[in-house]
Amino acid sequence: MIPSIEWTKDNKVKMIDQTILPHELKFLIIDDYRDVATAIKVMNVRGAPAIGVAAAMAMALATLEYKNLSKEKFLESMTQAANQIRSTRPTASNLFWAIDRIWKIVNSLYDDPTSISELVIEEIKLMAQEDINVNKSIGKHGAELLDDGDVVHTHCNAGSLATVQYGTALAPIRAAIETGKQISVIADETRPRLQGARLTAYECHYDNIPVKVISDNSSGLLMMLGKINKIIVGTDRVTSDAVFNKIGTYMVALAAKDNNIPFYVAAPTSTLSLHETKEDVTIEQRNAEEVSNVLGKVQITPDGVECLNYAFDITPFRLVTGIITEDGVFTPEELLRKYK
């Protein structure tokens, strides 16, 4: 896959517009941090690592806009920009991790606003490249878990589109295929935004990875029938007791446990938030119309009926077989020992 987000030579943010996939592959070119913030909120760009890089790039645009201000005004304007970017989506750790990383540069050098832009732009380029490198390492470690012929189930999209490139949950599948193993993917549709049906299916198909799409309520039966060998999902945040990922992940994990199927979570260390417990995390609730209307086009509920739209759920560690980071594969207990 082509990069889902990149910094252009003329200092703009170029991103795939994921809201119109799979029907059209179009790019947004953005030169105002406010518009990047909106793109994160409305999910033109989505997936925890891609959100992180987009947020960092938004900060870089803000430094360009404000670099000629006095140092007091610069810091004040950057604080406002950071707050606006922070307020876009509450659950993915990467958003906050990325803003904090850029903020360290802004804060340490604000005596000299003009040189900050250049340093921040260097940093975001590094972050984008690091993202790809980390995903490749996740792929290498995760590929060892996969056997020739495996059918791997994934939920939502934690592929190339959700990162800069290569993906997290799809990385072990890509890497195993690169070493000659025959691996195929079962993607569930992932209501209400259909990231599985639209995006995981799109990028697998684009890269010749065998993929079948199922409705969200099918994976339990397929596990029971022996048609799924392993599960790999991505994550938006890992706390000291649980994994946060797209709504529906918990039910997949429960069915996996009941059917003795390994349930793996691919998590770059930028997604770890091990000083927190599950009670500390805000689960994003999105507009109810995402549930009552399929992709904003067809209303499927009676007028006047309330809908709930929690965007993420919580999978307790007891249901997780292993967490794949760029450093290796760890049980939840090992993960805590290594990183906490």
Catalytic (active-site) positions: 236
Q: How far apart are CA 183 and CA 90, in angstroms?
A: 34
CB 43 within 8 A of CB 50: no
| C-alpha of 116 from chain center | 28
Contact segment (CB under 6 A) with ligand MRU among 45-53, 62-70, 108-116, 324-332 equals: 45-53
The backbone torsions φ and ψ at residue 235, rounded to the nearest 5 degrees and listed phi first, read: -155, 150
Q: Which stretch binds ligand MRU (CB under 6 A): 214-222, 232-240, 251-259, 325-333?
A: 232-240
Q: What residues from 309 to 338 belong to the interface with ligand MRU (CB under 6 A)?
A: 311
CB 174 within 8 A of CB 166: yes
- Sign (positive/negative) of CA torsion 125, 126, 129, 130? negative
Q: Which of residues 82-111 bind ligand MRU (CB under 6 A)?
A: 92
Stretch near ligand MRU under the rule CB under 6 A, chosen from 62-70, 78-86, 200-208, 233-241:
233-241
- Residues in contact with ligand MRU, counted by CB under 6 A, come to a total of 17
The DSSP code for 196 is I
Q: Strand (E) positions, the chain?
A: 5-7, 13-16, 27-30, 151-154, 184-188, 211-214, 230-233, 237-238, 242-246, 263-266, 293-294, 298-299, 312-316, 322-325, 328-330
Binding positions for ligand MRU, 116-175, rule CB under 6 A: 156, 158, 162-163, 168
Decide whether 167 or 332 has the Cβ nearer to ligand MRU: 167
Residue nearest to ligand MRU (CB): 234
Query: 214: which residues sit within 8 A by CB, 6+ positions away?
Result: 186, 187, 188, 189, 222
Kindly state the smallest distance separating residue 162's Cβ from ligand MRU, in Å. Answer: 3
Residue with tokens 């048609």: 227
Least Å from the CB of residue 109 to ligand MRU: 31
Residue 242 touches ligand MRU, criterion: CB under 6 A: no
Does the protein bind ligand MRU through residue 196 (CB under 6 A)?
Answer: no
Q: Which residues of 156-168 are buried (b: 16+ CB within 10 A; e: fewer)?
A: bbbbbbbbbbbbb
Residue 206 CB, nearest approach to ligand MRU (Å):
17
Stretch that binds ligand MRU, among 3-11, 31-39, 72-80, 228-236 (CB under 6 A): 228-236
Of the pair 13, 266, the CB lying nearest ligand MRU is at: 266
207 token code pair: 């890269």
Q: Does 234 bind ligand MRU (CB under 6 A)?
A: yes
CB of 123 to ligand MRU, least distance (A): 21
- The residue from 131, 236, 290, 313 that contacts ligand MRU (CB under 6 A) is 236
Among 93, 160, 195, 273, binds ligand MRU (CB under 6 A): 195
Residue with tokens 């109810």: 288
Q: Give me the residues that bind ligand MRU (CB under 6 A), please.
A: 46-49, 92, 156, 158, 162-163, 168, 195, 234-236, 245-246, 311
